[in-house]
Structure 1
């Protein structure tokens, strides 16, 4: 059986990994003033757009996910021919309409695929599973990597589905942002009041950085640490502790809102890489999606891994 894997462009995985494993990306279009870019996980295009537009006006950007019609057209035009079963994994539905759009599109796809496949010489049925990863950015990458691993190992559709559903319930995403004022401005532009003016002002005045935790569709602060570099170091050290304790999948994903060379110089990151290597855990690092950067700001760090419920300790 030919199994396809689809993610949206907020899923932070390296561009070469996506290409090597034929992962299909549902692009999210970003508009900042007159500048428009459809995010296809092209890291160089993302960095160019970042340097030209995001730092100045990113808080007022408009993000436009694939519509129901666009998802339907993508599947009927290509995916129902190329694959027999597709797993479509989206950013958490609590933060984006992509999951709902994909679910609505799936009904039309499953109703209309037969003549398309028959015209291409396939008389077997086509199936589609839409999965809410219940997380954001680097944390979305965990389920996608697991889907690739299972598919390449010859696992069946039911085994993959059950494993991905179980895993999505246990993926933890962590994030540290550089600029709370940016985060607040972006949240206000989207009508999200989760980052208050007082919190942003206090955090910037004292250089206090919250560590944000995403889990099962919910996001919120779990620590406040003085200084961005210190906060990121504490985060990397904590992730290293969880790696040594044993993860639910041998994968850690890290994304950075800028050049990867800058990520690699952050205090504690080299130690995390060494810990992952010593414990047989694959570490994937990538430039954060353009969608991620316009939502959380330049220079943010996100980390994702699958683990039992736990408490962050700095």
Structure 2
């Protein structure tokens, strides 16, 4: 039986990927200039980043409960199972709302087999999990097999990233304001990672060259099976740096594939222009 896949806009994958693979799409919300938009639907990342460079402070909120419910209902009506791989619950309330909406839908469709996974991933790391889930769906696996495999994939996914200005993360409550102040001094670049779906500072490095070199070192310490995996790179208004990082990764590890994509407006509203993030599978 076919298993349908659902994901949200925080995966930072192009809309064309969702459309080509018939994946249900749930947009998070972005507020800018007292107007509310749907991420990747009525506002795009470049618009948000440009506004931030001009001093604006966009805010984000979880996906609309009704949008989530309507998406679930769409697949419930097919009589086939569905799997929603959700943005990290440590960064958004979308997962919790989805669980509530799933319960409502199941009251109307009690036989609907809907599974929801808290990916504990973000941006293109989350996107890699969605891509992996899609491959499993196409290969004809059962929903139980897909759910188990995707949870394991997410548990071994590393997120290593840096930002130009920690003020944006502090403004959104993602890190402390004290950390933001220190990080803004003397060209110190923060290196962060994810632990249990939350952003955790790793270390501080002075200068871009040392930063990129340190990212490669961290990848070497944590990564494994490079020839068999896809590495993700997401970036915000700094494609040149992302391309430089891509070349360093290719030279050091020769992975099966490297995919790149801009950070979406929901994630970008918190990380800001100059964000660079690398995603890869860790050692088992």
Question: TM-score range, shorter-chain basis?
Answer: 0.7 to 0.9
Structure 1 runs, 4 residues or longer, greater than 4 Å off:
240-243
- 1:254 positional shift: 1.5
Q: Distance in 2 between matches of 1:290 and 1:204?
A: 23
The answer as to whether partners of 1:170 and 1:306 remain within 8 angstroms in 2 is yes
Residue in structure 2 matched with residue 21 of structure 1 by the alignment: 21
Are residue 66 (structure 1) and residue 41 (structure 2) matched? no
- Residue 205 of structure 1 aligns to a residue in which SS? coil
For this pair of structures, how many residues does the alignment match?
284
Q: Distance in 2 between matches of 1:28 and 1:83?
A: 27
- 1:146 positional shift: 1.1
The answer as to whether partners of 1:173 and 1:214 remain within 8 angstroms in 2 is yes
Gaps of 5+ in 1: 115-124, 310-314
- Residue 178 of structure 1 aligns to a residue in which SS? coil
- 1:269 positional shift: 2.1
Residue in structure 2 matched with residue 122 of structure 1 by the alignment: none
Are residue 3 (structure 1) and residue 3 (structure 2) matched? yes
- Output one character per residue of 1:110-143: Cα deviation in whole Å (capped at 9) or x when no partner: 11137xxxxxxxxxx4211110001221221222
Residue in structure 1 matched with residue 232 of structure 2 by the alignment: 253
Gaps of 5+ in 2: none
The answer as to whether partners of 2:90 and 2:196 remain within 8 angstroms in 1 is no
Q: Taking structure 2 as the reference length, what is the TM-score of the superposition?
A: 0.88
Residue in structure 2 matched with residue 99 of structure 1 by the alignment: 95
Are residue 139 (structure 1) and residue 125 (structure 2) matched? yes
- Residue 285 of structure 1 aligns to a residue in which SS? strand
Residue in structure 2 matched with residue 121 of structure 1 by the alignment: none
Residue in structure 2 matched with residue 271 of structure 1 by the alignment: 248
- 1:248 positional shift: 11
Counterpart of 2:219 (choices 218, 234, 239) is: 239
Q: Distance in 2 between matches of 1:233 and 1:23?
A: 37
Q: Taking structure 1 as the reference length, what is the TM-score of the superposition?
A: 0.80
Residue in structure 1 matched with residue 282 of structure 2 by the alignment: 307
- Residue 104 of structure 1 aligns to a residue in which SS? helix
The answer as to whether partners of 2:172 and 2:270 remain within 8 angstroms in 1 is yes
Q: Distance in 1 between matches of 2:53 and 2:170?
A: 14
Q: Distance in 2 between matches of 1:4 and 1:151?
A: 7
Change in 2 beyond 3 A, CA 1:26/1:128? same
Change in 2 beyond 3 A, CA 1:83/1:285? farther
